[in-house]
Amino acid sequence: MKPSALLPLLLALALSACSPTPAPLPFKGSDISGETFGGELTLNAHTGQRVSLADYKGKVVALFFGYTHCPDICPTTLLEYAAAMKTLGKDSDQVQVLFVSVDAKRDTPAVLAGYVPHFNPRFIGLSGSAAELAAVATRFRIVSQVLPTEGGGYLIDHSAGSYLLDKTGRLRVYQPYGTPADALAHDIRLLLD
């Protein structure tokens, strides 16, 4: 290799050493900042409006998938987010919790309106057609399966974690089921700063 060909390579290496990569944030949940799944979603809010993730740019978004007839995982997770909002105090004004239904058959906007705001009046429940919800679930790597119960009813076995998106709408943190409110608030604060 000619010495003149080495000069651009050495210059590039020297410049890259001058601009260090920022240290990852010390999230309590799993840092998924480099992942490319997810994307936009547009669904029916329990308020009667059609909303998308883009409507919440400038806020940290907590995105959780579940259903109103869920006996344990969904109410527990929503209670943890409600407690995290109390911990955040005034900073919670910069956070939007979105509960996306995996049960298109039962979770109409009216049903969500009678469920989601009981945890926190600012939380929003989202629903849509079966095709819309399936497409969103696939984009966010959510799996669910209907489990028939005696008497003709059903439960839905579904992914139990939640996601935090930063103020630009980018996926940043995966929170596994059972993450306590103080850990949720910690990670949300990191995204607010």
pLDDT of residue 23: 59
Q: What global pTM score does this model have?
A: 0.86
As a whole number of angstroms, the distance between CA 117 and CA 161 comes to 20
pLDDT of residue 136: 95
In a domain, 35, yes or no: yes
Share of the chain above pLDDT 90, in %: 84
Residue 6 domain flag = no
Q: Tell me, yes or no, whether 97 lies in a domain.
A: yes
CATH number at residue 158: 3.40.30.10
193, pLDDT greater than 60: yes
Q: What is the pLDDT confidence band of residue 30, given thresholds at 50, 70 and 90?
A: very high
Classify residue 145: in a domain, yes or no: yes
User: Annotated binding site, which residues?
Assistant: 70, 74, 158
73-88 and 181-192 are packed helices; what angle lies between their axes, rounded to 10 degrees?
50
Q: What is the count of structural domains for the chain?
A: 1
Q: Rounded to whole angstroms, how far apart are CA atoms 81 and 182?
A: 9
State the CB neighbour count (10 A cutoff) for residue 143: 11
The answer to whether residue 122 is domain-embedded is: yes
Can you give the residue range of the structural domain that contains 96? 27-192
Q: Are 25 and 188 in contact (CB under 8 A)?
A: no
Mean pLDDT, the chain, integer = 90
pLDDT tens-place string over residues 151-183: 989 999 999 999 999 999 999 999 999 999 999
| Gap between the Cα atoms of 76 and 177, Å rounded | 9
Residue 148 falls inside a structural domain: yes
Which residue numbers belong to the known binding site for Cu cation?
70, 74, 158
- The per-residue pLDDT for range 94-137, each reduced to its tens digit, is 999 999 999 999 999 999 999 999 999 999 999 999 999 999 99
| Residue 92 counted as domain residue | yes
Q: Residues 135, 76, 120, CA angle at the centre, nearest 5°?
A: 85
